[in-house]
């Protein structure tokens, strides 16, 4: 069977590409070996946010008296929380199925492998096989959890994110190795429902890719919430022979061990490039990822790759933006490459974290003369009324041209607020534009305007 476009993998990279291709009049098929929606809808973005919503409800219930509401002590129904999360993921996956039908996209369930001559070989779910042809083959096979050699995931005592989302019984204690987005979101969720959580991070601070002040604030909040935090600590091994699991580690204080019911390994991802026919087809890889140009063309004409399988930020919105760009370029539209300097990054802990652009350190390293403005949510009427005064907005502005170099936020709802900065940067707006854009009152977003004002020494409320 011949198509204009065949997409392999139906995550936010793949299914969005397929829809855009169909919109542009291309005969499109998508091949998926598991569930429509990929990691994001089934195992990542969506089910984690459902769990985190349960954590939020739990925290509100436990602090209801602070809002003048009397209710009994809240307790988690762990299987019901997990079921809700799985139901939300399942509904989202069905939504993708609907979108595929709406757009006349052929969905093929099976495991795909590319072949030379613009062909795709598929082993169907029932064991039969078939070969398909297309003018353009887009590989969007995503990634899976990376494993440390001395921390092999057994699915019971040492688990990955998939098991953490589907445990049958709530662990009494959990050690989380790695404090990136997945590690800290899981730490917040499990701690909120009463699991005793310890985070072990190899680098000197939590969420090490975020601004240092954001890391510091998160560490303070986590410690206050009784999450044990061990930074600059290297895990050296694990022993699963006894009850629970023992983790060995070393840091500047020396060597020691920790014990818990389970260990969650959250140390990053590995691209799904194996058994894909890349070698047979001659498609080049580099550092375990498929090599592409700015329009996602591989070194072999007619083959493309996007999303977590290439070397760009492993985020759903990045995968989708890459897919749309790739397809529009295939169609011959006049399309700009994705601007990787303007990608927002969110972490859905409580408080939430959001950032875009350079951190203060990075901006200085790049030689910018910077103005830094900061507005704490303790001074925000909306944050106070919501009972969420933790956190701040920090903005970094180039002194010379007033360019908005970066924004770093920690606080309630900041994952929604960051889009304002992304849009402003895309429109090449300046700090002055943000300052003079009248923000509604009372909102958390006023903190952006005030942070800019602080950079200019004009803040009103601090």
Ligand X SMILES: Cc1cc2nc3c(=O)[nH]c(=O)nc-3n(C[C@H](O)[C@H](O)[C@H](O)COP(=O)(O)OP(=O)(O)OC[C@H]3O[C@@H](n4cnc5c(N)ncnc54)[C@H](O)[C@@H]3O)c2cc1C
Q: Which is nearer to ligand X, 33 or 157 (CB)?
A: 33
Binding ligand X by CB under 6 A: which of 5, 11, 176, 390?
A: 11
Cβ 185 to ligand X, closest distance in Å?
7
Show the binding pattern over residues 207-246: x = contacts ligand X (CB under 6 A), - = does not: ----------------------------------------
C-beta of residue 134 within 8 angstroms of C-beta of residue 4 = yes
Token code pair at residue 371? 């103005």
List the end-to-end C-alpha distance of the chain, in Å, as a whole number: 66
Q: Which is nearer to ligand X, 280 or 365 (CB)?
A: 280
* Cα distance between residue 280 and residue 300, in whole Å: 11
Our finding on whether 44 is near ligand X (CB under 6 A) is yes
Cβ 377 to ligand X, closest distance in Å?
22
Nearest 5°: the CA angle 49, 53, 55 is 115
Cβ 346 to ligand X, closest distance in Å?
6
Cβ 122 to ligand X, closest distance in Å?
8
Q: Which of residues 416-435 bind ligand X (CB under 6 A)?
A: none
Binding ligand X by CB under 6 A: which of 182, 200, 356, 414?
A: 182
* Cα distance between residue 361 and residue 209, in whole Å: 11
Q: Which of residues 12-41 bind ligand X (CB under 6 A)?
A: 12-14, 31-34, 38-40
* CA count, 13 A, side-chain hemisphere, 208: 12
C-beta of residue 393 within 8 angstroms of C-beta of residue 461 = no
Spacing of C-alpha 147 from chain mean position: 18
Cβ 451 to ligand X, closest distance in Å?
24
174 bridge partner residues:
197, 262
Our finding on whether 281 is near ligand X (CB under 6 A) is no
Our finding on whether 364 is near ligand X (CB under 6 A) is no
Show the binding pattern over residues 254-273: x = contacts ligand X (CB under 6 A), - = does not: ------------------x-
C-beta of residue 317 within 8 angstroms of C-beta of residue 12 = yes
C-beta of residue 344 within 8 angstroms of C-beta of residue 181 = no
CA distances from 172 to 89, 191, 208 (A): 25, 10, 27
Our finding on whether 45 is near ligand X (CB under 6 A) is yes
Show the binding pattern over residues 309-348: x = contacts ligand X (CB under 6 A), - = does not: -----xxxx-x-----------------------------
* Cα distance between residue 183 and residue 175, in whole Å: 10
Cβ 404 to ligand X, closest distance in Å?
22
Closest CA to 426 of 313, 366, 344, 328: 344
Closest CA to 407 of 349, 454, 452: 452
Show the binding pattern over residues 138-177: x = contacts ligand X (CB under 6 A), - = does not: --xxxx-----------------x----------------
Q: Which of residues 95-114 bind ligand X (CB under 6 A)?
A: 111-112
Token code pair at residue 145? 């959890």
Select from 147-155, 227-235, 306-314, 440-448 the region that touches ligand X (CB under 6 A): 306-314
Q: Which is nearer to ligand X, 142 or 376 (CB)?
A: 142
Q: Are strands 196-200 and 254-260 parallel, antiparallel or unpaired?
A: unpaired
Cβ 145 to ligand X, closest distance in Å?
7
Backbone phi, psi, residue 82, to 5°: -65, -40
Q: Which is nearer to ligand X, 14 or 411 (CB)?
A: 14
Token code pair at residue 43? 């195992």
Binding ligand X by CB under 6 A: which of 5, 6, 7, 9?
A: 9
Q: Which is nearer to ligand X, 161 or 249 (CB)?
A: 161
Cβ 437 to ligand X, closest distance in Å?
27
What residues are labeled active site?
441
C-beta of residue 421 within 8 angstroms of C-beta of residue 397 = no
Q: If you count them, how many residues does the chain have?
A: 462
Place of tokens 């997945």: 182
Q: Which is nearer to ligand X, 344 or 411 (CB)?
A: 344
Total residues binding ligand X (CB under 6 A): 35
* Cα distance between residue 131 and residue 201, in whole Å: 46
Judged by DSSP in three states, 193 sits in: coil
Which residues form the interface with ligand X (CB under 6 A)?
A: 8-14, 31-34, 38-40, 43-45, 48, 111-112, 140-143, 161, 182, 272, 276, 307-308, 314-317, 319
């Amino acid at each position: 069977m011949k198509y204009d476009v065949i997409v392999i993998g139906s995550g936010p990279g793949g299914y969005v590409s397929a829809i855009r291709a169909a919109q542009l009049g291309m005969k499109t098929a998508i091949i998926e070996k598991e569930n429509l929606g990929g990691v994001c809808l089934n195992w990542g973005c969506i089910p984690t946010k459902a769990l985190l919503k349960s954590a939020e409800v739990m925290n509100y219930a436990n602090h209801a008296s602070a809002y003048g509401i009397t209710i009994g002590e809240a307790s988690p129904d762990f299987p019901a929380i997990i079921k809700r999360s799985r139901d939300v993921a399942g509904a989202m996956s069905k939504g993708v199925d609907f979108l595929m039908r709406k757009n006349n996209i052929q969905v093929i369930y099976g495991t795909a492998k590319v072949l030379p001559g613009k062909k795709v070989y598929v082993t169907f779910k029932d064991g039969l096989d078939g070969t398909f042809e297309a003018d353009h083959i887009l590989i969007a096979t995503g990634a899976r959890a990376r494993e440390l050699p001395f921390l092999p995931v057994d699915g019971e005592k040492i688990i990955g994110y998939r098991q953490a989302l589907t445990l049958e019984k709530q662990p009494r204690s959990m050690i989380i190795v790695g404090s990136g987005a997945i590690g800290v979101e899981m730490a917040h969720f499990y701690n909120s429902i009463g699991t005793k959580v310890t985070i072990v991070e190899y680098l000197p601070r939590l969420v090490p890719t975020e601004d240092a002040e954001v890391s510091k604030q998160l560490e303070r909040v986590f410690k206050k919430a009784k999450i044990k935090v061990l930074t600059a600590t290297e895990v050296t091994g694990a022993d699963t022979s006894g009850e629970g699991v023992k983790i060995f580690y070393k840091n500047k204080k020396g060597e020691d061990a920790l014990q818990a019911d389970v260990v969650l390994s959250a140390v990053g991802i590995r691209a799904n490039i194996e058994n894909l026919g890349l070698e047979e087809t001659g498609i080049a890889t580099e550092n375990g990822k498929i090599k592409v140009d700015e329009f996602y063309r591989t070194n072999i004409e007619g083959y493309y790759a996007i999303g977590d399988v290439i070397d760009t930020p492993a985020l759903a919105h990045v995968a989708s933006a890459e897919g749309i760009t790739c397809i529009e370029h295939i169609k011959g539209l006049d399309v700009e490459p994705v601007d990787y300097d303007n990608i927002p990054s969110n972490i859905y802990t409580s408080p939430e974290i959001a950032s875009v652009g350079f951190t203060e350190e990075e901006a200085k390293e790049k030689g910018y003369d910077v103005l830094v403005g900061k507005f704490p949510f303790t001074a925000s009427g909306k944050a106070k009324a919501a009972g969420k005064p933790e956190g701040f907005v920090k903005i970094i502005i180039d002194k010379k041209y007033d360019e908005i170099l970066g924004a770093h936020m920690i606080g309630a709802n900041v994952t929604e607020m960051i889009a304002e900065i992304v849009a402003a940067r895309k429109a090449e707006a300046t700090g002055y534009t943000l300052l003079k854009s009248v923000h509604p009152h009372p909102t958390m977003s006023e903190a952006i305007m005030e942070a800019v004002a602080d950079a200019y020494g004009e803040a009103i409320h601090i």
